Amino acid sequence: MFDLVAPRYDEFTRRFSYGMDAGWKRAVVTEVASRVPRGARVFDVACGTGDLAFGVAAAVRGARVTGVDASPRMIALARARRAGVTGATGGTGGTGGTGGTATPEFVVGDMSRLDAADGSADAITAGYAFRNAPDHRAALAEAARVLRPAGVLVTLDFHRPEHPLWRALFLGYLRVAGNAVGWWWHREPVAYGYIAPSVAAFVSAPRFGDDLAASGFDVSHVRTWVWGGVAMHVAIRRR
């Protein structure tokens, strides 16, 4: 499904959120940049075409950023975008090189089984990631394994609103709009129609905070938008 939507994924997220997606992602990048050292090792899981990975690479000098996604087509588009960034900036194309702006690496992989040593990362970003994991608690445990003690995990995702009336309205909008755009663009309603049931089956923002705590994190703070329908969690790996 993500291979199908990859070519128009960025356009969809911006239109579907009425342009708010860009601001949410800037908030994630700002949090990471304020908490990691120069040359930090960062993973962006379920990276899509690389919005957060590129943002962190630009914001943290010398950052070594790796974007990981299960969709080969998303990764192919991220790599093509990387080539364009490298050519435009005159950079070396490496992550952390001194000849220009550092650019991320991108690999196909599973966020629940990262190809990384224990305690090897300073930060992990996750945009619309854990909601799409088969078991988000297992994926949180994997993030805890890879992060060093006091490393930071910053997540951005849709969550089930706690208020019943708003939850019904929110999910109804996601369902109707997602199915319509999926049919219009791809002749496959499920292409974006899956979002509503995935949110309905996910947890609220407060419950996700509880899951973070149970997985070895201390939640620093939570920022919500759309009356709890979207949230950013900033969590620190316990020492």
Q: Is the entire prediction scored with pTM above 0.85?
A: yes
> Is pLDDT above 70 for 231?
yes
Residue 92 has pLDDT above 90, yes or no: no
pLDDT-based confidence at residue 128 (cuts at 50, 70, 90): very high
The answer to whether residue 122 scores a pLDDT higher than 90 is: yes
Better-scored residue on pLDDT, 6 or 122: 122
Query: Are the CB atoms for 104 and 95 separated by under 8 Å?
Result: yes
**Alpha-carbon gap, residue 183 to 44, rounded angstroms:** 30
When pLDDT is cut at 50, 70 and 90, the band that residue 188 belongs to is: confident
CA distances from 205 to 81, 119, 212, 224, 227 (A): 32, 26, 11, 8, 11
Pick the CATH number of 2-159+203-237 from 3.40.50.300, 3.40.640.10, 1.25.40.10, 3.40.50.150: 3.40.50.150
| Beta strands 121-127; 147-158: pairing state | parallel
pLDDT of amino acid 88: 59
- The pLDDT of 201-224, averaged and rounded, is 98
Give the residue with greater pLDDT, 101 vs 129.
129
Residue 177 has pLDDT above 90, yes or no: no
25-71 tens-digit pLDDT? 999 999 999 999 999 999 999 999 999 999 999 999 999 999 999 99
Distance CA 58, CA 22 (A): 15
Among 26-30, 150-154, 193-197, the least confident range? 193-197
pLDDT at residue 194 tops 70? yes
Positions of CATH 3.40.50.150 in the chain: 2-159+203-237
3 state SS for 68-83: EECCHHHHHHHHHHHH
Asked if the model's pLDDT at residue 99 lies above 80, the reply is no
The more confident residue out of 31 and 87 is 31
Mean pLDDT taken over the chain: 90
Banded model confidence at residue 193, pLDDT cuts 50, 70, 90 = confident
- 101-112 pLDDT, tens per residue? 579 999 999 999
The closest of 146, 135, 138, 159 to 209, measured between CA atoms, is: 159
Give the residue-averaged pLDDT of 191-218: 94
pLDDT-derived band at 179, boundaries 50, 70, 90:
confident
